[in-house]
Amino acid sequence: MTLFISSCLLLLLLLLIFPFTSTDALTSPSDVSALKAFKATVKPNSIPPWSCLASWDFTVSDPCASPRRTHFTCGITCSSDSTRVTQLTLDPAGYTGRLTPLIFGLTELLTLDLAENNFYGLIPSSISSLLSLKTLVLRSNSFSGSIPDSVTRLNSLESIDISHNSLTGSLPKTMNSLSNLRQLDLSYNKLTGAIPKLPKNLIDLALKANTLSGPISKESFTESTQLEIVELADNLFTGTLGAWFFLLESVQQVDLANNTLTGIEVLPPKFAGENNLVAVELGYNQIRGTAPASFAAYPRLSSLSMRYNMLHGGIPSEYERSKTLRRLYLDGNFLTGKAPARFVRSDAEVMGSLGNNCLQGCPGKAKMCAPSQKPFYICKQAYGGKPKS
């Protein structure tokens, strides 16, 4: 009995000292090869000793072996039977290197997340091999070149975030083939051209801070009936934003600031009843005409900005009567007439600015009246004579 107990204790001690010495490989050889190739393309001097990649030691442990006490401690997730890698999610450690096409041998990958590192070069077209991929996150790296058209063959994709890189060229024309895509963020790149037809199930669209241009076309949005958030600020969009845009029944937030739009067509109040718009940002464009009174009829609209455009005429009285409006920015235009009393009271519930216009009766002590109104001669010049109240 004593000998048996001693043998059990010795076996337990060996398991504690050498927990990963099993010769039975768990992970698919193709997945192991892909992981090795991926790590090999990352510059060794960019791998901190405390990072996920530093714990990847293929000579000591199988990637999917459990428990992971000292090796492969983070960065990958495996299938329930520990044979396939299903997630590659790196820590933001400053890894530097190119994305090797061999990584796309991880054919059961559901998530590829390399965000906030220093990967550079092209996104390989062989990414189309990841047919099971649902989430692609390459945010805040230094990827360049165009978005490969092959990405649009990944029909399982639900989320794409390649923002904050140096991508160029136009968006793939077949973006609408990504029928399961819910979120698309390509902001802060150098993309050009027009917006193609968008996927039908898209909810969140972010393309801000690129050099996209041309008019905003109805055809691009026709199939996207579930779209809730549209972020297109800081681009080069031109022309008039059609009334059709405000018929997109699911849209809640719109940001089109810092473009070169020259006009907007807003629906008459009778069409606004079922609209879900909560926030509209149209500042820093070249929009002419009068401030659309119809915006006040949108039952959920709480934030409206049309600052620094070329609006003329008075502030619609409907804005003052709105029960939902809480933020209103109309500064930097050529608006005339008297400032609505509700907005300039000391206990005003609405925040924002009516400054830098041609308004009368906008007291300097009122927060909404800052900055001060334009000099009279500028207003006179804008109207070709004395501004009408």
Q: What is the CA radius of gyration of the chain?
A: 28
Alpha-carbon distance of 169 to 172, in angstroms, equals 9
CA distances from 221 to 160, 170, 245, 250, 288 (A): 18, 17, 8, 12, 24
pLDDT of residue 347: 82
CA atoms within 13 A on the CB side of 111: 12
Lowest mean pLDDT: which of 17-31, 221-235, 344-358?
17-31
Q: Can you give the three-state secondary structure of the chain, one letter per residue? A: CHHHHHHHHHHHHHHHHCCCCCCCCCCCHHHHHHHHHHHHCECHHHCCCCCCHHHCCCCCCCCCCCCCCCCCCCCEEECCCCCCEEEEECCCCCCEEECCHHHHHCCCCCEEECCCCEEEECCCHHHHHCCCCCEEECCCCEEEECCCHHHHHCCCCCEEECCCCEEEECCCCCHHHCCCCCEEECCCCEEEECCCCCCCCCCEEECCCCEEEEECCHHHHCCCCCCCEEECCCCEEEEEECHHHHHCCCCCEEECCCCEEEEECCCCHHHCCCCCCCEEECCCCCCEEECCHHHHHCCCCCEEECCCCEEEEECCHHHHHCCCCCEEECCCCEEECECCHHHHCCCCCCEEECCCCCCECCCCCCHHHCCCCCCHHHHHHHHCCCCCC
Instruction: Evaluate if residue 166 carries a pLDDT over 90.
Output: yes
Given a cut of 80, whether residue 355 has pLDDT beyond it is yes
What pLDDT, on a 0 to 100 scale, did the predictor assign at position 269? 74
Give the per-residue pLDDT at 112: 98
| Per-residue model confidence as pLDDT tens digits over 265-304 | 987 777 777 788 999 999 999 999 999 999 999 999 999 9
- The answer, yes or no, to whether residue 12 has pLDDT greater than 50, is no
pLDDT tens digits along 51-109:
999 999 999 889 999 887 789 999 999 999 999 999 999 999 999 999 999 999 999 99
d(CA 209, CA 190): 8
Query: What integer is the mean pLDDT of 373-380?
Result: 93
Q: Which two tokens stand for residue 333?
A: 């235009």
Could you tell me if 304 and 278 are in contact, meaning their C-beta atoms sit under 8 angstroms apart?
no
**Better pLDDT: 363 or 24:** 363
Average pLDDT over residues 138-154: 97
The pLDDT, as a whole number, for residue 13 is 44
- What phi, psi does 325 have (nearest 5°)? -70, 125
Task: Please say whether the beta carbons of 186 and 211 come within 8 A.
Answer: no
**Is residue 162's pLDDT more than 70?**
yes
How many CB atoms are closer than 10 A to CB 377?
Answer: 8
What does the pLDDT read at residue 346? 81
- Residue 15 pLDDT: 42
Number of helical H runs and strand E runs in the chain = 6, 24
Nearest to 195 by CA among 164, 238, 165, 159: 238
Is the pLDDT at 258 greater than 80, yes or no? yes
The pTM (predicted TM-score) of the whole model is: 0.90
Q: What is the pLDDT of residue 247?
A: 84
387 pLDDT more than 90: no
Q: 58 near 76, Cβ under 8 Å? A: no
Residue whose pair of structure tokens reads 């975030």 in the numeric block: 161
Residues 6+ apart with CB under 8 A from 365: none
- As a whole-number percent, the residues of the chain with pLDDT over 70 amount to 92
- In the predicted model, what is the mean pLDDT of the chain? 91
- The rounded distance, in Å, linking the Cα atoms of 237 and 220 is 14
Tell me: pLDDT of 7 over 60: no
What confidence score (pLDDT) does residue 175 get?
96
Look at 182 and 386; give whichever has higher pLDDT.
Answer: 182
Where is average pLDDT lowest: 15-19, 157-161, 182-186, 241-245? Answer: 15-19
CB count in 10 Å sphere of residue 150: 15
* H or E segment to which residue 328 belongs: strand 327-329
pLDDT tens, residue by residue, 19-62: 444 445 689 999 999 999 999 999 999 999 999 999 999 998 89
Cβ neighbours for 96, distance < 8 A, ≥ 6 positions apart:
42, 43, 46, 117, 118, 119, 120
Residue among 112, 93, 92, 94 nearest 35 (CA) = 112
Residue 1 binned pLDDT confidence (cut-offs 50, 70, 90):
very low
More confident of the two residues 65 and 206:
206
